[in-house]
Amino acid sequence: MAINKLPSKSGLFYQPLGDILISESSWKLVIFRNLEPLFLSRDSLKRLIANYETVISSSKYITPSIYTTKSFTKVSLDKIDTRLNELSYYTNNHNRAKRELIDGLGTVLKWLIGTPDAKDAQYYNQCIELLEKQQLDHNQVLTQQLQIISSTISNFNDTISRISYDEYSMNDNLNRISSYLNTTNKIIFDLKVSEEISTVSIQILESVLSLERELDEIITSILFIKSGAIHPSIISTIKLYKELLATNHLRINNNLVAPITLGNIHKILESTTPTSYIYLNKLIYILEFPLVKNEKFNLYHMYSIPIKHYNSSYYSTLFPEHTYLATSTTLQRYVTTSILESCKMFTTKTRVCKDLPVYNYNARPICEIAILQSSSKEPPSNCELTTFSAHVDTFQSIGNNQWIFLLRFKTPSIVECGNQIEHQEISGSGIISLKSGCKFYTAFVTLNAEEDTMTNLTYPIITVDIEDACLPETLRQPIPPELHPIMVKNVPLDSLHIIKEQIKVQEQLLKEQQNSFNSNFSSPKFSFTAMALGSSMLIFLLYKCCPWHYFWTRNRNPRDLQPKSGCIQIFNNCFDNSRQRQSIPLATINTSALSEDEDEDENLPTTARSRTPKARSLF
């Protein structure tokens, strides 16, 4: 578990939700299948099987495998009848006939659930018929942002044509078999008849299974459409890429959600809104691709954080106008909404939103954008602020296994991750992040982290500071230069926003005190005082050094003195040829100590020093 501080202490926490693209129009791709050949093929197979059973009943040489094939054929034919009956059910064909009678109801349903009404169905059918008759220019349809594709069902039409051809050829073979039975009874011809019957039975079974597979693909594609996906049998990625690339020049000033490349086809399909219906024996698929501008908006979920003022029971909050805010990079254009139902996620952290108006801030300013654009610490004038007294202790989920917590006191908590259990205390405000599969317990709340795969994306965290300049003078109290944690209590975070940031004010006071000290330290008075102290210390040192200099001069070695007195120092006192100095005894010498001060001379006693002569005097 990780606990982080709130990125913003301003009263507004912006949780990034990714990017959104605004769609103002759409490009419709219509793909249709004619269902009439299905019913014709079913009827042809039934007639063929009836003739086949007649031949079998009149033949004497029928192998067991023929009866087995006949049973499989009958079962598959029953499935075909069931699939054809299900088509109307899956596409709500009967309800469409009713909506066609009540045109207004169809229009309402189109806006509510996204299904075409009677006029849309008639319009699409007329365009298809005119294109088939080559009476409508293809470019004329494209200018109406409508693209019709009929080539995708060429394989299906080939299958139906093959079944019709097989019916003719198999009927001819059955007539020959009947001719063999009527003209000869030889064993060799009977064996030949048995072989021909087996061949025909296998061909009938293959035709029935082929038609059954086609119906299964159609029903599966309809079920995919109902779930918002596109089945590969509707259109292949290569075919879709070619069709969109061929008409790219017609989408002027509007683009698809991604550039048209083979690598981006899956992204384009994710943004598609598919629908399907049956009209006049035509199964019509409509793929609606949103057309967006090149400008992306950053989407944020705004949470209101109450701030408790220092030494006061009051809290300040800011009420946002909407829950979600999407801004351009320049903050000049924005989108606000309280719900995201009109937005569809087509890639990770990217949505396409329809029917959301884009506003210009200069024409329609709002509080949320004003806070982001303002460099002042005072709240903008168009922000609605509220001051109240309350106790706040709450946990607010912000997604991605994260929760904002606001607590008044230290709260014991337990974190359980598998077999590991950790005890700790939390207080103040912050964001709790839990790992996948972990649980967080307190005395009044339990948080469970979801186990899922997540992608790390980096978004700028908007931090805005709001001062308490909006509070009345009676609520303002002096703040000491110590920093204190923010204290907040039970307030819904989705409906409130912070007014002020006490920590920033305290830091400002600390900076002012520091600047004041630096100013005093560098004043002229301080410089004069320092010079005076330095001069005094220099004079004192000179005073102390002069007596020591005199004493040192007085006690220097006599060798260094000039012979100014009457005393003579004899250095060489050798009396013989030896180089060794001889000891010369001296007679008694009376000496006295002289003082520099006359007063000290009178007080000092006279000392005498005598030595017993042991040798003859030199003089």
- Residue-level pLDDT at 247: 83
- Cα-atom radius of gyration of the chain, to the nearest Å? 53
The mean pLDDT of 438-445, rounded to a whole number, is: 88
CB-CB neighbours of 187 under 10 Å: 9
Comparing CA positions, the residue from 515, 97, 144 lying closest to residue 280 is: 97
- Residue-level pLDDT at 344: 85
Distance CA 528, CA 605 (A): 52
Comparing CA positions, the residue from 161, 159, 136 lying closest to residue 148 is: 136
- Residue-level pLDDT at 326: 92
In what helix (H) or strand (E) does residue 507 lie, and over which residues does it extend? helix 502-521
- Residue-level pLDDT at 299: 92
Residue 601 has pLDDT above 50, yes or no: no
Distance CA 329, CA 463 (A): 16
CA dihedral 88, 90, 95, 100 (to 10 degrees): -70
Residue 119 has pLDDT above 70, yes or no: no
- Residue-level pLDDT at 157: 55
- Residue-level pLDDT at 499: 41
- Residue-level pLDDT at 579: 52
Q: Beta strand 439-441 with 402-417: parallel, antiparallel or unpaired?
A: antiparallel
pLDDT tens for residues 542-568?
A: 777 766 655 555 555 545 444 444 444
Q: What does the block give as tokens for 434? A: 């839990």
- Residue-level pLDDT at 96: 42
Provide the β-strand partners of residue 317: 386, 498
191-196: long-range contacts, CB 8 A cutoff, minimum separation 24: 191/61, 193/59, 193/61, 194/59, 194/61, 194/62, 194/63, 194/66
Q: Which of 94-108, 347-361, 534-548 has the lowest mean pLDDT?
A: 94-108
Residue 100 has pLDDT above 70, yes or no: no
Domain boundaries, given as residue ranges, for the chain:
2-18+297-454+463-471+480-504, 35-228
The mean pLDDT of 243-264, rounded to a whole number, is: 84
The answer to whether 307 and 313 have CB atoms below 8 angstroms apart is no
Q: Which of 144-153, 197-206, 411-420, 541-550 has the lowest mean pLDDT?
A: 144-153
Q: Beta strand 12-34 with 146-149: parallel, antiparallel or unpaired?
A: parallel
DSSP state at residue 512: H
Residue 102 has pLDDT above 50, yes or no: no
SS3 for 142?
A: helix
User: Which pLDDT band holds residue 392 (cuts at 50, 70, 90)?
Assistant: confident
Distance CA 235, CA 238 (A): 8
The mean pLDDT of 240-262, rounded to a whole number, is: 84
- Residue-level pLDDT at 549: 57
User: Which pLDDT band holds residue 297 (cuts at 50, 70, 90)?
Assistant: very high
SS3 for 230?
A: coil
Residue 613 has pLDDT above 50, yes or no: no
The mean pLDDT of 569-577, rounded to a whole number, is: 49
Comparing CA positions, the residue from 272, 268, 298, 299 lying closest to residue 285 is: 272
> What is this structure's pTM?
0.52
CA 562 to chain CA centroid, Å, is: 99
- Per DSSP, helices labelled H in 184-254 are 187-226, 237-246
Distance CA 106, CA 97 (A): 10
- Residue-level pLDDT at 327: 92
User: Which pLDDT band holds residue 461 (cuts at 50, 70, 90)?
Assistant: low
Residue 340 has pLDDT above 60, yes or no: yes
Q: Which of 74-88, 330-344, 378-392, 417-431 has the lowest mean pLDDT?
A: 378-392
- Residue-level pLDDT at 148: 54
Sheet of 314-318, strand order: 307-308, 314-318, 385-389
- Residue-level pLDDT at 539: 83
112-117: long-range contacts, CB 8 A cutoff, minimum separation 24: 114/273, 114/275, 115/275, 115/277, 116/275, 116/277, 116/286
Comparing CA positions, the residue from 405, 413, 412, 420 lying closest to residue 441 is: 413
% of the chain at pLDDT higher than 90: 2
Comparing CA positions, the residue from 168, 397, 193, 404 lying closest to residue 306 is: 404
User: Which pLDDT band holds residue 184 (cuts at 50, 70, 90)?
Assistant: low
Q: Beta strand 12-34 with 350-354: parallel, antiparallel or unpaired?
A: parallel
Residue 96 φ/ψ, nearest 5 degrees: -65, -35
**Location of structure tokens 């790390």:** 456
Comparing CA positions, the residue from 287, 288, 292 lying closest to residue 251 is: 292
